[in-house]
Structure 1
């Protein structure tokens, strides 16, 4: 491996070691606290401390049921409600450690940006309509680009869960590597892909992940399947918002 790559990875690893786990947990609790009492996802939030998977699955089932009952892409999904559900998913990235730190940092910042804009742009359609009008859909920092990256984060977790449940012999490293290669790697730079690849060796075992999620094998399988099924209509809805405006999905 080239010296500059080793230096880059060393810098990344030192940076992450300096991130105290208690600070991350405090940040997560703060985000959950901010959502409490704002309507729509109180039940999911209250359960997130004991069962984050259950809270996430429930939140996305609410969104999925809403989309199914309101006609899919024709429905104008509330941006704040969407962000409230997405905020819960950040807990999962935190459980995966250094390998997904890039994904976590990008995902959390994009969700927060969208949530901050929810008062001005009340729905996902509003976000895209504005950027289409301004020709800034794919511009760095645009809300439409942020939405695209959040969608990738949701799909990354869905793919990881699907791989994880495919067989008991599938290690978390294998499940995560396959999911990352398919969902995120095509849109990341070589440097990020290299750092993520190196970090995969630090992933927890299947048993350690279940412990961090406060789940048994049986309960985790149930909640992961709930998320897989509930997130699919939400991901498809976001894709259709772009497709309906003749915006490609290969970015």
Structure 2
């Protein structure tokens, strides 16, 4: 059982993303603040660490990209402005651009969404099937053979679902509620970010 007064990572994630979802649900052209977005995304970082070596690449990449967006929030107010500034500067696809980093962070959020979806519908204590499906759906199309092979090997040393929940200070009942809450809240948010790219003819598959 999770400690009554312990740090509830999943609850904090779910609550933050519900707030973001409320913003983007108000209007398809809503302005989402870079600061609030990066703050919510930073709460997701520990999840990658909890998954171990299979997602070490994702943890390192995701954390670095979120830090970049947090720094950007000091001078850029909204995600729309962030993307538009890179479009104007013709730097959207350049390594290290805020827009490129936003796309990478979005994939991290999407991977967690699929992982949670799969955990919720998969019986047993193993995370291998949920994690494999999440990786294959979100990350694998963008990775070369070497990374895919390393991730595949890492799947054999994933924590069990019980171990993951213990690391997150959750019991199974409460974890299911928070995971479903994140899935529900992150879906319109991910769609919102995709529209930022598609509406500017930038694509989302690079």
Q: Name the TM-score, length of structure 1 as normaliser.
A: 0.78
Which of 102, 112, 127 does residue 82 from structure 2 map onto?
127
Distance in 2 (CA, whole Å) between partners of 1:209 and 1:170 is: 10
Which 10-residue stretch deviates more, 145-154 or 210-219? 210-219
- Is 1:225–2:142 an aligned residue pair? no
Per the alignment, residue 61 of structure 1 pairs with 18
- Is 1:148–2:103 an aligned residue pair? yes
- Note the C-alpha offset of 1:48: 10
Name which one, 1 or 2, has greater alpha-carbon Rg: 1
Which 10-residue stretch deviates more, 136-145 or 224-233? 136-145
Distance in 2 (CA, whole Å) between partners of 1:146 and 1:222 is: 30
Structure 1: 4+ residue segments shifted above 6 A = none
Q: Name the TM-score, length of structure 2 as normaliser.
A: 0.94
**How many pairs are equivalent?**
203
Q: Confirm or deny: 8 A CA contact 1:156 1:179 kept in the other structure.
A: yes
- Note the C-alpha offset of 1:191: 1.7
Per the alignment, residue 139 of structure 2 pairs with 184
Structure 2 gaps, min length 5: none
Distance in 2 (CA, whole Å) between partners of 1:49 and 1:189 is: 40
Per the alignment, residue 33 of structure 1 pairs with none
Q: Deviations over 1:149-205 (max 9, x none)?
A: 000000000000001111213730110011001101111222211111111111011
Between the two structures, name the one with larger relative contact order (CA 8 Å, sep ≥ 6): 2
- Note the C-alpha offset of 1:49: 5.5
Which of 105, 113, 117 does residue 72 from structure 2 map onto?
117
3-state secondary structure, aligned to 2:51: helix
Distance in 1 (CA, whole Å) between partners of 2:63 and 2:167 is: 19
Structure 1 gaps, min length 5: 1-46
- Is 1:52–2:9 an aligned residue pair? yes
**RMSD, aligned α-carbons:** 1.5
3-state secondary structure, aligned to 2:74: coil
